[in-house]
Structure 1
């Protein structure tokens, strides 16, 4: 391989891996330039606020852009109107008067911001209207109106760019994130089947799974916002997220029971086969989610593995081997069987949710 072809291969790999980030950078660049041009054409006195707003609103998905635009615009309008009213009602030229005006302006808006994250920008906007030197030159009313126009322009352009320039739908990102979560759960089950509990901690799989689910919850909320705004026709992704949360709970219960129970030679092999079968089913469903295709039909391998585990327990009981075990160990052995059954039902539910997602496109 020549140096040129090697560099081309490395560059192609890097571009493929960072495609989403590069597209987002391009959207933000287009958004800022377009906003700057429009603000200059409208002769807005502080066009940089419009550009900043456009950059904030141009998020990685339509759902997040909608939320950012709504929060930014409502917070700015509230802050500008209230800050302008305080500036008119309380003359302030510095000193104690300015301090009093600042308290009257900031305190109520800070309470609103503490109650709702959507109003976080309101007290900042009020302070700008109240204390800005430009505000004192133009007057509080004119400055507040300019501020609303600047923010409104930035929100409009940011939303338009997010919608028209290589739009990214949160509903599509949900499937990819769900697939990543399913694969993390599969890795945990593989390690559990090997009785390699240390590998789970060493790789940080529980924490990675929790963070993946947190990200999935965020995307589900963004997808719901897109659906309410008629920007996407995907089905409700909340059931998909709930099923993955239940599967995470199943994995936690299986890990706790398997770690504290001495399965011995009679149950170690059927347990390992059951855990491996569940991991394979999870990966098959994850592949379907990622590709946007329906996962394989009814699984027979995992149920058969559960039956084999239960049959091994029955053999131990017939041979009176369970009499030598403590009641806690026996309880955990049966608890594993119960948890495996619960996981089978949740995997079937996950496959149905993945099929619904694939059917919607």
Structure 2
């Protein structure tokens, strides 16, 4: 049984890596749409099949967003195309004016801006792809019906066949974000304490975090499309905001570490800084595990103790006038770096507290 479980897990990982589930769902949506348009005897049913393939996204929220964009764009384009074809026929002038009007209207209305390209294409198809014996209104309606059939089929398949939720993907994306920020935080601090800046490692981590952030922003919009629950939406927004803030704090520390090569003030409290780094990274890693559903919310008592110890040591250094023995550049770099560490600790603690209060509400 353990061997079978391991094999099943590996097959699942391979399917996710190569996008086999998405490929299967898209293929099923295309086949189902073709069968449906054949049964309905739609004149150009291949447009419905094309639409089903385009609308089918990796998760339900993405499919809904793509469906809205294509349906709205098709409706606007069909209306303008039918009007232009009725009054101007299949002329280049009519097509140009119709496309101009379509794009102008879509751009002027914020909710239609994403639909402008589809609307323009539909306008051109209705005008130039028509037949003299078929009224423009009928052609526009047929185009809208074909697109609607493809959209509905794609959404049904997306919701029923091996469904994937954007909210779940976002939770894993945010978990990876906090995990990578924790790694970057630890690497930057350790590099400074050891006076050995690992440039290539830090660059790779920053690049991965930036890509994760970009994907999480997209997934958040898709997750909000899936569910209108205000509490869940607020939690997702808070987590993404806190992840971005933590990354900004660590970027500030990294900027200081690049310029700060002196051997100085940080040697007065290596144990306090090491404890602050360890407990901060531990809380962020615990947050990542909780978001994946593999652990409880992390405790912050050790982090609070590390922050208190660091602040006490800093106060003692000021009383002993330790900074006076160093030049201004060293003092500024040191306090900027430590302030970044304390800001990361504060945001990590606040994130845990906010999640706990939201989950208990």
Aligned residue in 2 for 1:309: 310
Following superposition, the deviation at residue 178 of structure 1 comes to 0.4
Relative distance call for 1:233 and 1:267 in structure 2 (3 A) is closer
Aligned residue in 2 for 1:36: 34
In 2: Cα distance, 1:354 partner to 1:23 partner: 32
Relative distance call for 1:335 and 1:224 in structure 2 (3 A) is same
Aligned residue in 2 for 1:226: 226
Contact between 2:184 and 2:202, CA under 8 Å: does it hold in 1?
no
Q: Which deviations, in whole Å up to 9, do the C-alpha atoms of 1:126-170 show, x marking residues without a partner?
A: 1011111x5445332222111111001011111111111122221
Aligned residue in 2 for 1:106: 99
Q: Secondary structure at the match of 1:168?
A: coil
Contact between 1:200 and 1:206, CA under 8 Å: does it hold in 2?
no
Contact between 1:110 and 1:123, CA under 8 Å: does it hold in 2?
yes
Q: Secondary structure at the match of 2:32?
A: helix
Relative distance call for 1:276 and 1:25 in structure 2 (3 A) is same
Following superposition, the deviation at residue 43 of structure 1 comes to 0.3
Relative distance call for 1:71 and 1:343 in structure 2 (3 A) is same
In 2: Cα distance, 1:201 partner to 1:135 partner: 62
Contact between 2:266 and 2:334, CA under 8 Å: does it hold in 1?
no
Contact between 1:257 and 1:332, CA under 8 Å: does it hold in 2?
yes
Contact between 1:65 and 1:159, CA under 8 Å: does it hold in 2?
yes
Is it true that 1:255 corresponds to 2:260 in the alignment? no
Contact between 1:80 and 1:125, CA under 8 Å: does it hold in 2?
yes
Following superposition, the deviation at residue 208 of structure 1 comes to 1.9
TM-score in terms of structure 2 length: 0.86
Is it true that 1:189 corresponds to 2:202 in the alignment? no
In 2: Cα distance, 1:358 partner to 1:13 partner: 33
Give 5+ residue unaligned stretches, structure 2: none
Relative distance call for 1:10 and 1:157 in structure 2 (3 A) is same
Contact between 1:179 and 1:286, CA under 8 Å: does it hold in 2?
yes
Give 5+ residue unaligned stretches, structure 1: 93-97
In 2: Cα distance, 1:275 partner to 1:225 partner: 38
Higher mean displacement: 274-283 or 197-206: 197-206
Contact between 1:306 and 1:337, CA under 8 Å: does it hold in 2?
no
Aligned residue in 2 for 1:84: 82
Is it true that 1:131 corresponds to 2:128 in the alignment? yes
Aligned residue in 2 for 1:121: 118
Relative distance call for 1:9 and 1:282 in structure 2 (3 A) is closer
Aligned residue in 1 for 2:332: 331
Contact between 1:189 and 1:276, CA under 8 Å: does it hold in 2?
no
- Kindly report which structure 2 residues correspond to 1:208-357, keeping only aligned pairs within 5 A, or say none: 208-228=208-228, 234-236=232-234, 237-261=236-260, 262=262, 263-291=265-293, 293-297=295-299, 299-355=300-356
Following superposition, the deviation at residue 111 of structure 1 comes to 2.8
Following superposition, the deviation at residue 345 of structure 1 comes to 2.3
Q: Secondary structure at the match of 1:194?
A: helix
In 2: Cα distance, 1:33 partner to 1:353 partner: 46
In 2: Cα distance, 1:158 partner to 1:88 partner: 32
TM-score in terms of structure 1 length: 0.86
Following superposition, the deviation at residue 186 of structure 1 comes to 1.1
Q: Secondary structure at the match of 2:198?
A: helix
In 2: Cα distance, 1:203 partner to 1:288 partner: 27
